Amino acid sequence: MALLAGSMAAPAAAQGPLSESRGFYLGLNAVIGGVSAMIRSLALPEPDPGAAFVKGALGGAVMYGGQRLVGTGHASLRIPGVQLVAIGANMARNAGDARPLLDDLTLPLYPFYLDLSPAPGTSPIRLSALATVGLARALGESGRFDGGLDWKETLLAGTPVFRSEATWIYPLTDAEAGACINGEGCSGAAAGMHRLGTIWYTTGGRGRANTRRTLNHEMIHLTQFVRDGVLHAVPASDAALKRIGGPAAYLSRWVVLDLALPLSGIEAAFTGDARARNSGWYEREAVTLSGGH
């Protein structure tokens, strides 16, 4: 359930003083970029892990910069922020391959990835397997969540965004709102949710400001999915499918099997259970960088 990648639930999880610091997440992103690049560089004939770490850390700082843009809450900065996260992830990946940092760029417009320098015979637009699943699942849940695709917010975010007219949605349960206490939601209630590149946000019983905060929070969860996907899942898919060869190699021209998400796996290991994700790293990062709930 790590791929659920977080939802804005009630009540909010308690935060530690270190995890409330934006500087902490700048450092964390730098470490993610640096370590990922360093490990990747070890597969080179003449690895230089030190240089890879430094350049990868720079990419990580760019990822953080993209998250900060998204975290401002300005609708006009959502797509630029998400794409800046992707550029930072590309920089870290290229650093690990000892390539110029902007040499190979993959950008997300879910459910697709755009390859700005596609390999010969590869389509510049490829379908994300996970984002396709996320979109299909959201379409199937429209009735249960009392909502549907919000075209305006989708265009502003560059990813599918669904609006629910309910006060709470229940990603993990079928709880009824009538069983909730003091309007704070039953166990498993969420004001919004990101899952596999698709966002849900609720509007029922909320003012405009609270609704915008919910959407902004889920956009940070989207950047986490982008960070892991571009840095790890896209190159892992390409390497695996080409290594298998035959039909799998042909499939890699059109589809990204973006299943390798180690950061999401670490999040799952720390939370232990999808129901406990509000105490996890992803949720704390989203709360801090979106300015809180």
**Domain count along the chain:** 1
Express each pLDDT in 210-228 by its tens digit.
Answer: 899 999 999 999 999 999 9
Virtual CA dihedral for 13, 194, 231, 40, nearest 10 degrees?
A: 50
35 within 8 A of 49, measured Cβ to Cβ: no
Are 94 and 104 within 8 A, CB to CB? yes
What mean pLDDT is predicted for residues 266-283?
71
pLDDT given at position 1: 33
Give the residue carrying structure tokens 């975290």. 71
Q: Which pLDDT tens digit goes with each residue over 119-175?
A: 888 899 999 999 999 999 999 999 989 999 999 999 999 999 999 998 888 887 665
pLDDT (tens digit per residue) in 74-89: 999 999 999 999 999 9
To 5 degrees, how large is the angle CA 250–CA 253–CA 259?
95
pLDDT band at residue 293 under the 50/70/90 scheme:
very low
Domain range enclosing 48: 2-289
Per residue in 202-212, pLDDT (tens digit) is: 998 788 888 99
Whole-number percent of the chain with pLDDT over 70: 85
What is the reported pTM?
0.90
pLDDT at 280: 81
What DSSP line would sit under 114-169, residue for residue?
EESSPPTT--SEEEEHHHHHHHHHHHHTTTTTTEEE-HHHHHHHTS-EEEE-SS-B
Comparing 214 with 274, which gets the higher pLDDT?
Answer: 214
Residue 221 and residue 283: Cα distance in Å, rounded?
8
